[in-house]
Structure 1
Amino acid sequence: MSNAEQFSDLMVTEQVVTKSTDDMTTLFDAQKRAFNQDRFPSYESRIADLKLLKGAIHNKKEKLLTALEQDFGYRNHNESILGDIFSSLSTIDYTIKHLRAWMKPQKRRVGIVFQPAKAEIHYQPLGVVGIIAPWNYPVFLTIGPLVAAVAAGNRAMIKVSEFTPATNAVLVEMLGSVFSNDKVCVVQGDANIAKSFSELPFDHLLFTGSTQVGRHVMLAAADNLVPVTLELGGKSPVIIDNDMPLNEAVKRFIYGKTMNAGQTCVSPDYIYCPQDRVDALVAEISLRYESMYPSELGNDKRTRVINPKQFQRLLRYLEEAANQGATVMHLGRLNIQQDGCFMPLTLVLGAKPSMKVMQEEIFGPILPILGYEDVQSVIDSINSNPRPLGLYVLSFNKNFQYRFLRETHAGGVCINDAAFHVVVDDLPFGGVGDSGIGSYHGVEGFRTFSHSKSVLVRGKLFFSDMLFPPYGKKVHHLFYKFFVGDK
């Protein structure tokens, strides 16, 4: 199977708007030329761009909300505001507030041997960067990387997801009102366009999506030695301490799971609960879910699974689990609606490691619950699997918390919360191992899209030549004695 076919299996959808590979190359060349004419945009011009972008988001907010609802079949506007609009605006505001400090050269220490001199790190724009955005938060996961790229002084090409054509149309209109194509442009298209986009000789490429597709993106970028930031996914566990009140535990993780119908890369993927508390946990989840999403309001105001392909994938997970002896519980009193891609929060009890629901990232409103007898078995289980993007510890016991902080790996951790570390502007966001490479957000985003250029500065005084050949001078012996340890 060719690389394009592999991309197609993983990324294709039914209706796409395509640009040819030639068009894409033309856009890239135009951005490269424009960057070469302005290799270090001023602080003032970067701030002006960010403020214009913020204004454009405000101007297009209602159109974005309507488009997101259309692309999802239905997506609750409150979730769109929180997950896409607020998070995008917050990122811009935080960047505007701190950009001047980020752009300043950073002083570094110079050892006595090389004095007098000074050392600094200068943050230089990379050039033209590529951004591949996913469908689950198509505004925020386009705007967030773009803000970091623009703040660092770069040009940007954005490949948007085929799954969100209505939102893409608004994004094209919105970004076109702020930027010329030689500064920021949007590329739409099918799997072949996605593959060709990944093969462009960018100065950096950021991809957000599945681990499986991320491997193909990294492979495509490798031919041009393009550095990549991969924001992937994985199975992010929740661990409930035996002493944690269950009503409090549920309150801390349930919105992270139900928001956007579980279609969030940092959504809790499964739960470890003390074995003798599993039944009580199920009861608490059911009560909280019904209070958050009362059945009498119907299912027409609940966010849907994005499309039939993803919905059928989730149904296959549930069918396999049930066939292998697991208990599948659909919460609330509303039934699954295949035609409308509606699925209520669904618990899976008695899941086995061999089941797809425990092997693949769920990315939907399905939540397996695993009982445990001792904490070490939980740690061993987490460490025996690919490293997750998020890990969520629900406990007020400091020793319990720090045990997981020390003895497990994850891209990020929440203590007594779940998923919302991703919207803390000053925290880097990224995975580790199978859940990602590199990070962005805040200063880390600025630095991801910058070259940290080392600069050593000397003045009129210069003593280093005393160590130059011919060797064997007294100064050499003194140097070795004091700095190398020779007698």
Structure 2
Amino acid sequence: MTLADTPLIPADFVDCHHTQREAYLQNPVPSYRERLADLASLARMIKENKDAIVEAINRDYGNRSEFETLFAEVFVVLEGIKATAKQLKKWMKPQRRHIDVLMYPGASNTLIPQPLGVVGVIVPWNFPVNLTFCPLTAIFAAGNRAMVKMSENSQHLAGLLMRISPRYFPETKLKFFDDAGGRGPTFSSIAFDHLLFTGSGTTGRAVMANAARNLTPVTLELGGKAPAIVAPDFSIKTAAERIMWVKMFNAGQICTNVDYVFLPEQSVNEFVTHCKRLFAERFPDINANDYTSIIDQRSYDRLQHTLDDARSKGATLVNLAEGQTPDKALRKFAPHIVLNLNEDMLASQREIFGPILPVRTYRDKTEVAKYINAHDRPLAIYPFTRDKDLQNFYISHVMSGGVSVNEALLHVAQHDLPFGGVGPSGMGHYHGREGFNTFSKLRPVFRQGPWSAIQLLFQPPYKGKALKAMNLLIRMKG
């Protein structure tokens, strides 16, 4: 796409960006108290509208587990806001940096975190409150303003946030937009001071290309095929319990979910047995509210096609909901384990993003590392082993965005750890101090002392004392 192909940006986007930019210029560095007030307003917005948020997300999904929404969308967000408020004063302090007192006597170096200005946020549908308000926590802590575009699959939630947001923030601080008419490409073409996108790698590339026209810096939180690796020393029963909890959460529609699992060859049958038992115990009725629906028919059909493709190419499919009849009208999708996998199958090639768990077997750790490293770097890896040396082998030999050891997913919930991908799984970080830094300009400031020693050297012609002094300084640095 050339500059001539740049989409026409809608007037409401342009007007909002202009007014937020003007407001930023009027108050470019909000005080600590102003930022605390913004964080408190974010928390009130969630708490005072909790039931409406749960209902809106449920309507967008068709059926979304209330508990999953309360945990992932409400509790985790409020916990993150509280953690940020507690650390904010320390993060805002200018940092003293080293200076060469011989060259610059009496001078000082300081690093000052300052707001960037107006930040754009493009939110996916799978955790729409979490992936809106966790970034906003960092954005407001850093003193910025924000424009947020919700997903086309979050129409009810988008409408709710658009209605209630003005009660808590002026539009010069925060404004929500829905995606009626597929306005994502135009949103990412705005000259933001920073742009955060969470979604697929394909769309992420398009977002980055649009942002590049304005040299807008981007943080991309993408996905990928995140593996779990169960070592021979780890309990298969425990591994199945922990992996199944994550794989069934939100019906597997999580970018950091376990996409596939490596098992020792002799452990496959035991793992499958435990998974069948666990699903029967935890979801005795797949059509009940606790088991979340697939977000839309296109995604449902994609998952079904993935299973059909695997079956046609020789895979063995294990239906964990055997004996139950999922409600297709609610897009309830029965979870499956895929055995006898090969590289020609779609299950090996595409991110699953649903309740399908491919299983690979292995004999030694180098085989596992070689396979993962031959593919795109994942957003996470999940080694299950009590052996510290083996844990460190996978951490050092397999690059990924993040790691949870002997668990899956929960590194994302640690508010003092940055969250982000690497390579095709993303770039940049947010959460914690790294999120504050992402949405700040860490501005270096040099302050000269009462007199400038360096000026004694910078007086051409460079010969005599100046040249001798420079050669002496070079020798001293050796």
- TM-score, normalized by the shorter chain, greater than 0.5: yes
State the match for 1:481 in structure 2: 472
Q: Which residue of 2 aligns with 1:178?
A: 168
Amino acid at match of 1:405: I
Which of 59, 72, 75 is equivalent to 1:70? 59
Deviation at 1:364, TM superposition (A): 0.5
Q: Quick check: 2:109–2:446 contact (8 Å CA) kept in 1?
A: yes
Look up the equivalent residue of 1:121 and give its one-letter code. L
Q: Taking structure 1 as reference, are residues 482 and 29 closer, same or farther at Cα in structure 2, changes over 3 Å only?
A: closer
Instruction: Flag the 1:250–1:242 CA change in 2: closer, same or farther, 3 A.
Output: same
**Secondary structure in structure 2 of the residue aligned to 1:53:** helix
Deviation of residue 82 (structure 1)?
Answer: 0.8
Q: Secondary structure of 1:370's partner?
A: strand
- TM-score, normalising length: structure 1: 0.93
Secondary structure of the structure 1 residue equivalent to 2:263: strand
1:324 pairs, out of 313, 317, 323, with 313
Task: Please give the per-residue CA displacement for 1:284-332, whole angstroms capped at 9, x wherever unaligned.
Answer: 222222222234x754441111111110010000000000010111103
Residues 255-294 of structure 1 deviation map (CA, whole Å, 9 limit, x = unaligned): 2211111001101000000111111111122222222223
Task: Identify the residue that residue 130 of structure 1 maps to in structure 2.
Answer: 120
SS in 2 for 1:403: helix
Q: Look up the match of 1:51.
A: 40
Aligned to 2:11: 22
Q: How does 1:88-107 map to 2 (within 5 A)?
A: 88-107=77-96
Is the contact made by 2:228 and 2:382 (CA closer than 8 Å) also made in structure 1? yes
Residue 409, structure 1, aligned to residue 399, structure 2: yes
Query: Kindly tell me: are residues 34 and 327 of structure 1, through their superposed partners in 2, closer, same or farther at Cα, counting changes over 3 Å?
Result: same
Distance 2:73 2:467 in 1: 63
**In the alignment, which residue of structure 2 is the partner of 1:375?**
365
Q: CA deviation at 1:220?
A: 0.6
| Residue identity opposite 2:226 in structure 1 | S
Cα offsets for 1:332-371 (capped at 9, x unmatched)? 3323432221013211111111211111111111100111
Write the deviation string for residues 12-46 of structure 1: whole angstroms up to 9, x where unpaired: xxxxxxx9801111111111111111111111111
1:268 alignment partner in structure 2: 258
Alignment deviations for residues 430-480 of structure 1 (CA, whole Å, 9 cap, x no partner): 000000010100111111111110011122133112222232333542442
Q: Deviations over 1:114-138 (max 9, x none)?
A: 3332111101111111000000001
1:61-89 Cα distance to aligned partner (Å, 9 max, x none): 00011111111111111000111011111
Of 138, 155, 159 in structure 2, the residue corresponding to residue 165 of structure 1 is 155
Q: CA deviation at 1:420?
A: 1.1
Paired position in structure 1 for 2:292: 303
* Residues 155, 300 of structure 1: alpha-carbon distance in 2 compared, 3 angstrom cutoff: closer
SS in 2 for 1:415: coil
Which residue does 1:457 correspond to in 2? 447
Letter in 2 for 1:89: L
Letter in structure 2 aligned against 1:483 = I
One-letter code aligned to 2:99: V
One-letter identity of the residue aligned with 2:107: A
- Worse-superposed segment, 279-288 or 412-421: 279-288
Instruction: Report if aligned partners of 1:157, 1:186 keep a CA contact under 8 Å in 2.
Output: yes
State the alpha-carbon separation in 1 of the partners of residues 338 and 477 from structure 2. 68
In structure 2, the CA distance between the partners of 1:121 and 1:2, relative to structure 1 (3 Å rule), is closer
**Using the alignment, how far apart are the partners of 2:312 and 2:371 within structure 1?**
24
TM-score normalized by the length of structure 2: 0.95
Q: Deviations over 1:358-386 (max 9, x none)?
A: 11111111100111122111100000000
Secondary structure at the aligned position of 2:328 is classed as: coil
User: Which of 130, 148, 156 in structure 2 is aligned with 1:140?
Assistant: 130
Instruction: Note if contact 1:480-1:486 (Cα within 8 Å) is conserved in structure 2.
Output: no
User: Which of 131, 138, 145 is 1:155 aligned to?
Assistant: 145
Counting only pairs closer than 5 Å after superposition, residues 423-462 of structure 1 correspond to structure 2 as 423-462=413-452
Tell me the matched-pair count: 475
Q: Which moved more, 1:329-338 or 1:353-362?
A: 329-338
Amino acid at match of 1:100: K
- Indicate the residue corresponding to 1:238 in structure 2: 228
Shift of 1:152: 0.7
* Shift in Å, 1:182: 1.4
Distance (whole Å) between structure 2 residues aligned to residue 97 and residue 247 of structure 1: 39
Gapped runs of 5+ residues in structure 2? none
Q: Unpaired runs of 5+ in structure 1?
A: 8-18
Residues 101-123 of structure 1: CA distance to partner in whole angstroms, max 9, x if unpaired?
11100111112323332111101
- Tell me, in whole angstroms, the C-alpha distance in 2 between the residues paired with 1:156 and 1:106: 26
Residue in 2 aligned with 1:229?
219
Residues 66 and 290, structure 2, Cα contact 8 Å, conserved in 1: no
Confirm or deny: 8 A CA contact 1:272 1:372 kept in the other structure.
Answer: yes
Percent identity, aligned pairs only, is 37
Shift of 1:157: 0.3
Aligned match of 2:348 in 358, 381, 384? 358
Residue type at the aligned position of 1:175: S
